[in-house]
Amino acid sequence: MFFLVLGLQAQIKITGLVIDEQDEPVPFANIIFKGSIDGTISDENGRFYLESSTYHKELEVSFLGFETQLIPLNKGSMNLRIVLAEGRDQLNEVRVYTGRVKRKNNPAIDILKKIWAKKRKNGLNMYTRYEFDRYEKIEFDLNNIDEKLMDKKVFNGMEMVFDQIDTSKITGKVYLPIFINESVYKTYGKNIYPRKKNNLLLANKNSGYSDNQALISFLKQLYVDFNIYDNYLLFFDKKFSSPLSKLGPDVYNYVLTDSSFIGNKWCYNILFYPRRKNELTFKGDFWVSDTTFAIKEIQMYATKNANVNWVKEIYIEQDFEVLNDSVFLLKRDYIMTDFALNQRDKSKGVYGKRTTLFDNHVFNVKRPDEFYKEQIQDNEEMYNRSDDFWAKNRQEELSKDEIGIYNMLDTLQNVKRFQQINTVGEILASGYWNFTKGWDYGPVLSTFGYNDIEGFRIRLGGRTYISQNDKARANGYIAYGFMDKRFKYGIEGKLLLKGKDRWVLSLGTMHDIEQLGVSLTTANEVLERSFATTSIFTSGDNSKLSDVDLTNFKVSVEPVKNVELRLGTTFKKLKSANPEVFNVDYYDENGDIQSSTEQVDVSFAVQYTPNRKSYGFGVERSTSNGGRYPTFFFSYTRGLKDVFNSDFDYHKLQFFYEQPYQLGLFGRLKSIFEIG
């Protein structure tokens, strides 16, 4: 019955293994339905998968130096073990490429050098200004679905999800689609100084989670754009050597295998595979034009020896369209990742797939500078586009599987079992539990804590929450320490006055204990000051905590994207929470000893986070800088003596700078500089 369900999706689905007479796998063997153009090649382990919606009687399997095999086929699914015999009297000379390929007199290297010479004279680089439509689709699937998994109790009441199972054309594994996200952009760019590129989001849609910008933020971090012509390609914080890199001959073997017309362009086919194991490299092939030396098609797999945490496989396809004799433009970009806890073939995991399509290119249209600057987007409509909008703006129709994901999630929203699982997922993702409409409890992980002053601590907190894009939000908590037998509290409210420039007012007050001096660049936000009190699992000495009363009012504005200005005033009273261990005693002007300080100050701060991506348009937004760009923070604070009995005049300067670095193939280094 299981394979019958799969058989309904296509006439023929074939998985198989190609070996020689010594039981050794035959990599890169050609497998094709006889009399058609539907085919594939075996991977480095001799395995392959092939399917067709049309019935074919025979499968043709061939490889240079071996006799061609014709395999009779039946409808449905088949698992084949194909043995190729060594060819006899077919060729006077047979060359089989294994191991290292010499660079000298290698025509593939000669072609590669011409690609390097032309790469800056191709595609969008040919024009001073450009714009195009971009459609992006991200999908997640559970893979290696089997009968044992389908019988799990977790799926009780949700058996209808298995109506969506299908088989991957790339890996041959059975998978269950579980999530899809779609986006439509208008991109404006210019190649003249200063080079700028603005991806203007017009619409976004999630299956089952239409307004969850936090989820969108996570997805956009997962897959970043890349240029196949660059020396290194960044995937999951690791830099892979590009097969088109100028350093390519040091890490790849290249073989010129074929030449043919693709459309009306004569192209060369070049096979590439790693020179050494355990490096961040790919294997695959590409077709390149013989006149412009621009890539027409490329497909590549990350080698299993690349050793990227949680990633079993990465597969990439890119197709380029011919605009004219000299310009090839990226038309379709597809990447599939197999996320799993281990590298075993039968281990279950999740496919992450991203498909990006480009269309309607327009060049050298002069636009005002605003078109090329990323703007703060405050438009609720883009998350609630109509079905007619999506039908017109999708550059390819959704497949049956993808349509099924939307239908499945809509159905599951009313299934109690799914609601329970969904609630757990939301708590893990956000830290809050939406226990009733309009109110969240949390952060859940701050409910219990421990420190040397309070002993065991319990904290009950929550926030108002109608949707991700609330214009106003209130947060608050009350806590109790069982050792010091005292209550603590904090409450804060935020209001978004103007969305375009992000004018935000915030007011809060708290009475609690905390560890001062953790950072030189401390904040005055009420609910961000909770070091050493939020968790049972604390580290280091937390016996020198301070008793803090604090009230803060702040206005912030973002006049330019990713540049935030803050102006605020704070009243605070500090004293030791544990006088037997340490104190803050000092002599006042009269020579008397004071054991606490009262202080009023005003402060001005600037924070700059270039290339940060923001999602949503409410008072609180999800943000990400992709882990690759710097953060700058500067603050000036002026203490005002005698205002509301304030004790001191002072000037305080603070500066913070954080910069991540990607060190080629070695990984990431993050440097932090603080001064105050």
Strands (E), 396-468: 433-436, 438-441, 448-451, 455-465
Q: Are strands 631-639 and 650-662 parallel, antiparallel or unpaired?
A: antiparallel
Helix (H) or strand (E) holding 263: none
Report the alpha-carbon distance of residue 460 to residue 478 in Å, rounded.
5
Q: What is the enclosing helix (H) or strand (E) of 342?
A: none
Would you state the pLDDT for residue 6?
38
Mean pLDDT of 127-136: 94
Domain ranges of the chain: 2-96, 112-412, 431-675
pLDDT at 466: 87
How do residues 225-278 score in pLDDT, each as one tens digit?
888 999 999 887 788 999 999 989 999 999 998 888 887 888 999 999 998 887
The Cα 208–Cα 406 span in angstroms is 7
Residue-by-residue DSSP string for 631-666: EEEEEEEEE-TTGGG----EEEEEEEEEEEEE-TTS
Task: Compute the distance between CA of residue 35 and CA of residue 43 in angstroms, rounded to an integer.
Answer: 23
The percent of residues above 90 in pLDDT, for the chain, comes to: 34
Q: What is the mean pLDDT of residues 400-411?
A: 77
What per-residue confidence (pLDDT) applies to 418?
Answer: 73
Give the separation between CA 106 and CA 93, rounded to whole angstroms.
18
> Can you give the pLDDT at residue 4?
39
CA-wise closest residue to 169 among 294, 50, 24: 50
SS3 392: helix
Can you tell me whether residue 457 is helix, strand or coil? strand
Q: What would the mean pLDDT of 299-319 be, rounded to a whole number?
A: 82
Long-range contacts of residues 587-593, Cβ cutoff 8 Å, at least 24 apart: 588/647
**Which whole-number Å values give the CA distances from 301 to 29, 42, 315, in the listed order?**
16, 12, 5
**Helical (H) or strand (E) element with 44:** none
Decide which of 184 and 216 is more confident.
184
pLDDT, residue 152, reads 73
pLDDT digits (tens, 9 = 90+) for 450-490: 888 899 999 999 999 988 788 999 999 999 999 999 999 99
pLDDT score, position 8: 41
Secondary structure class of 361 (helix, strand, coil)? strand
**352 near 312, Cβ under 8 Å?**
no
Query: For residues 172 and 46, what is the distance between their CA atoms, to the nearest angstrom?
Result: 13
pLDDT at 612: 78
Which pair of structure tokens corresponds to residue 551? 């009230």
CA dihedral sign of residues 145, 147, 153, 155: positive
Residue 560, token pair as written in the block: 């330019």
pLDDT of residue 91: 44
Number of H helices and E strands in the chain, helices first, is 8, 37
Confidence of residue 93 (pLDDT cuts 50, 70, 90): very low
CB neighbours of residue 395 within 10 Å: 18
Choices 3.40.630.30, 1.10.290.10, 3.40.50.720, 2.60.40.1120: CATH for 2-96: 2.60.40.1120
Separation between Cα atoms, residue 119 and residue 288, nearest integer Å:
12
Radius of gyration over every alpha carbon of the chain, rounded to an integer in angstroms: 30
- d(Cα 577, Cα 216) in Å, to the nearest integer? 42
| Most confident stretch, 88-102, 138-152, 262-276, 535-549 | 262-276
Asked whether the predicted pLDDT for residue 28 surpasses 60, the reply is: yes
